[in-house]
Amino acid sequence: MTERPDSTSRSGAPQVVGPYHIVQLIGEGGMGVVYDAEQFEPVRRRVALKMMKPGMDSREVVARFEAERQALAVMDHPGIAKVLDAGVADDGRPYFVMELVRGVRIDEYCDRFRLTLRERVELFIQLCLAVQHAHQKGVIHRDLKPSNVLVAEQDGRAVPKVIDFGIAKATGWQPADLPALTSLGVPIGTLAYMSPEQAESSELDVDTRADIYSLGVMLYEVLSGTVPVDLRVKGAPAFLAELISRDTTFPTPTQRLTATGDAVRRIATSRGTNPDGLKKALSGDIQWVVMRAMEKDRARRYNTANGLALELRRYLNDEPVLARPPSAAYRLSKLVRRHRGVVAALSVAALALAVGTVAATVGMVRARAAREAALAAEQQAATEARTATQVSDFLVNLFEMNDPSESGGATVTAREILDRGADRVKTQLGDDPVVQARLMGTIGSVYDALGLYDNALDLLKRANALQEANLSPTDPELAKGLRLLGAAQQSRGGDLESAERSYRRALAILRQETAPDSTELARTIAGLGATVLSRGRAEEADSLLRRAMDIEERIPGLDDGILAKTVRNLGAAAYYRGKYPEAAQYYSRTVAMEQRRFGRDAPGAADALNNLGAVYFMEGHYDEALAAYQRAKDIWTKTLPPGHPRLAAALTNIGETYDKLGRYKEAEPLLLQALRIKERTLSPDETSNAVTLRVLADVYRDEGRYKEAEPRYLRAIQILEDALGPKHPRLGMVLDGYAKMLRASGRNDEAARVEARRAALNKN
């Protein structure tokens, strides 16, 4: 039985709280402390555990602590830290457990990665949507500031997460037995980001627009590098008095930037520009958006966080923003109220003139826009027609060589047509490199499907080079070319890092240029998920693949094969996380989908059957595993060219199962055949080679042929270390087998060292 550690350390900090083991202190506030903690059962994960401070057990503090937990519990948004659990510690203090956000505060993240103004605004829009979700759930944060917004990398993109709802206010719910959660007479929040109504002593009339004000101050700081007022100069008491009285006049971001002196160069550099460029960028529409969000009169702010997000999106899209310089319109309205009689007659004439002028101007703009749109559509149609003609001519010419009169009476195979097409596309269509790249991509992807990975990579790299030189960096066609290149890089192996890089570049383009439910976007996310899985990051892969499946299932008329591949890869992600029943469900679903499409011998069904065999193998059902592996091999033998890498995978799996059943003499020739196939089709440093080498070494070990086993183990270890690093979990099975061989041959000291290394992998 494992001995339970003491519940508290010598310093007074707990070591164990419920099922959570405290790792370290993350931070603390007025009423609570937050720890980095680890849970071991029923799941193993790292979490953030927030606990009330000792002695802070007054009814008001307990109520506020409970309110924070309730506020977080009702929210479900990727931009807000999730509540996972709650309870009471041994000493009676309540606690709750949240998602552990491994990120940095939003202003530091923007500066560390030198985000441009546009990139900062894009990030801020995500933050606004998270705050909008909280507001929809009836929760006002009341302490929005950079330290309460952490930016973490998720699926290769920056995601801001709102934390610390410790002084949140409920607008739509509150337990009847709790006291009011506002301390009357004491402003609650952080002064630099606090709205005027929040600073007032009553504080009972605060609504969601207080958070809009705080968002405005944060946006001001993220863009200009400084808050509107330096409290070290102004002094907190004086600023608070001005805030409450609404006498504060804030400088615009450009004015504040000018006042920062020498720091302006550093601020501009962290935004990827120079001081003049930054001041120019801040002097446009974005400045009015910021100042409107920070209006002292909340009636003149944006009404919702979503409204602010939409305004920022209009700014990014070069559309007119709703915020206007308050001076002209505001002064005019005051003038009319003071001099109604004098202005009345003038206003009718002025209004008529204005309406006529605006109507004429709008008509001119719309007419011009219509002409430009029609011209662009005509040019696009002409380009597509020319492209279609060129592709058609190329393909007709290519297949004419199968005519006996053109080929000298000889039969031309599909592979020969493909090879000749590849040769021709490299030299033809040079006057239209975009079309040339398209055909290279098509032929390259066919090579990839046939397992001819070197041929595929050659063409797809050429296609990518042409697209990079002739297309816009944000062209969706470039994204598709990158996806095809990433798929080939993943298939060939040996450089999964390059495959991931290709997919991520494609994804960055598609997120800007395509609809959220596009097939190309889904395929790119799914491809990235498969690549991440190959690199050993199963949790991240599962998240990506689920996102891809969610998109694919919403697309009407989608090719079932695309969805089936995603479902199969989700099975692999479950398999590598040890969730075998879940993996079996995904694989069985894939088999059914593929057989509905192409019948009993569907090649895609063979992929899933092969993976289903792996699940049975891990569960110790070797006879069932052997049947699934053999069925996959039979289908591949019928449907794939001789020597395809998938056949090598099936042979390896059958050989490993024979080893478990003690049928060594049957296993060895299959494994040697698999190695020969891989040597012809794969890079020598492909991790798939290590799998077959390890299984062959296991067979030799079990037969007592230690001298033949050892070099195979060592070669497998070297391949995995070079490709994945010395601490990758996939080294575990090879090290296990090698240690058993060393023990069996009497080399116990060496075995102990290998076993120690294996144990260290489990801790990583």
Which pLDDT band holds residue 417 (cuts at 50, 70, 90)?
Answer: confident
Residue 9 has a pLDDT of: 42
Residue 141 has a pLDDT of: 84
Stronger pLDDT, 236 or 601, i.e. the higher one = 601
278-283: average pLDDT: 89
Which pLDDT band holds residue 359 (cuts at 50, 70, 90)?
Answer: very low
- The answer to whether residue 377 scores a pLDDT higher than 50 is no
Which pLDDT band holds residue 361 (cuts at 50, 70, 90)?
Answer: very low
Amino acid identity of 510? L
Stronger pLDDT, 429 or 51, i.e. the higher one = 51
Q: What are phi and psi of 88, to 5 degrees?
A: -125, 130
85-110: average pLDDT: 87
Cβ atoms of 128 and 134 within 8 Å: the answer is: no
Which pLDDT band holds residue 755 (cuts at 50, 70, 90)?
Answer: very high
Of the candidate ranges 115-124, 345-354, 516-525, the one whose mean pLDDT is the lowest: 345-354
Mean pLDDT of the chain: 80
Active site residue 542: no
Q: Which residue has the tokens 């969000």?
A: 293
Give the Cα separation of 439 and 432 in Å (integer): 11
Cβ atoms of 49 and 95 within 8 Å: the answer is: yes
Stronger pLDDT, 471 or 558, i.e. the higher one = 471
List 35's β-bridge partners, or say none.
25, 49
Give the Cα separation of 150 and 160 in Å (integer): 6
- The answer to whether residue 357 scores a pLDDT higher than 80 is no
List 149's β-bridge partners, or say none.
162
- The answer to whether residue 371 scores a pLDDT higher than 70 is no
For residue 138, give the H/E element and its range: none
Residue 67 has a pLDDT of: 67
Stronger pLDDT, 643 or 690, i.e. the higher one = 690
Give the residue range(s) of CATH 3.30.200.20 domains in the chain.
16-99
Options 1.10.600.10, 1.10.510.10, 3.40.50.300, 2.40.50.140; CATH of 104-325: 1.10.510.10
Candidates 143, 448, 607, 698; catalytic one: 143
Residue 167 has a pLDDT of: 57
Amino acid identity of 753? R
Fold of 640-764: 1.25.40
Cβ neighbors of 305 (< 8 A, separation 6 or more) are 128, 129, 131, 132, 135, 208, 211, 212, 215
Give the Cα separation of 122 and 101 in Å (integer): 20
Amino acid identity of 655? G
DSSP type of residue 80: B
Residue 448 has a pLDDT of: 83
- The answer to whether residue 639 scores a pLDDT higher than 90 is no
Task: Give the tokens for residue 211.
Answer: 């958070």
Stronger pLDDT, 674 or 86, i.e. the higher one = 674
Cβ neighbors of 517 (< 8 A, separation 6 or more) are 551, 554, 555
Which pLDDT band holds residue 493 (cuts at 50, 70, 90)?
Answer: low
Give the Cα separation of 734 and 436 in Å (integer): 45
C-alpha pair distances (Å), 566 with each of 570, 678, 748, 757:
6, 25, 45, 35
The 10 Å Cβ neighbour count of residue 57 is 14
515-538: average pLDDT: 88
Across 47-56, 124-133, 597-606, the highest mean pLDDT is recorded for 124-133
Across 415-424, 655-664, 719-728, the highest mean pLDDT is recorded for 655-664
Residue 424 has a pLDDT of: 79
- The answer to whether residue 715 scores a pLDDT higher than 90 is yes
The 10 Å Cβ neighbour count of residue 40 is 11
- The answer to whether residue 150 scores a pLDDT higher than 90 is yes
- The answer to whether residue 353 scores a pLDDT higher than 80 is no
- The answer to whether residue 354 scores a pLDDT higher than 50 is no
Which pLDDT band holds residue 82 (cuts at 50, 70, 90)?
Answer: confident
Which pLDDT band holds residue 722 (cuts at 50, 70, 90)?
Answer: confident
For residue 157, give the H/E element and its range: strand 157-162
- The answer to whether residue 566 scores a pLDDT higher than 80 is yes
Residue 121 has a pLDDT of: 95
CA quadruple 196, 198, 202, 205: dihedral sign:
positive
Residue 406 has a pLDDT of: 41
Class of domain 16-99: alpha beta
Give the residue range(s) of CATH 1.25.40.10 domains in the chain.
640-764
Residue 57 has a pLDDT of: 61
Which pLDDT band holds residue 75 (cuts at 50, 70, 90)?
Answer: confident
Amino acid identity of 6? D
Give the Cα separation of 53 and 35 in Å (integer): 12
DSSP type of residue 372: H
- The answer to whether residue 703 scores a pLDDT higher than 90 is yes
Residue 169 has a pLDDT of: 58
- The answer to whether residue 177 scores a pLDDT higher than 50 is no
The 10 Å Cβ neighbour count of residue 735 is 22
Residue 321 has a pLDDT of: 85
Cβ neighbors of 307 (< 8 A, separation 6 or more) are none
pTM of the model: 0.46
408-424: average pLDDT: 66
362-370: average pLDDT: 46
CA quadruple 355, 358, 360, 363: dihedral sign:
negative
The 10 Å Cβ neighbour count of residue 170 is 17
Give the residue range(s) of CATH 1.10.510.10 domains in the chain.
104-325
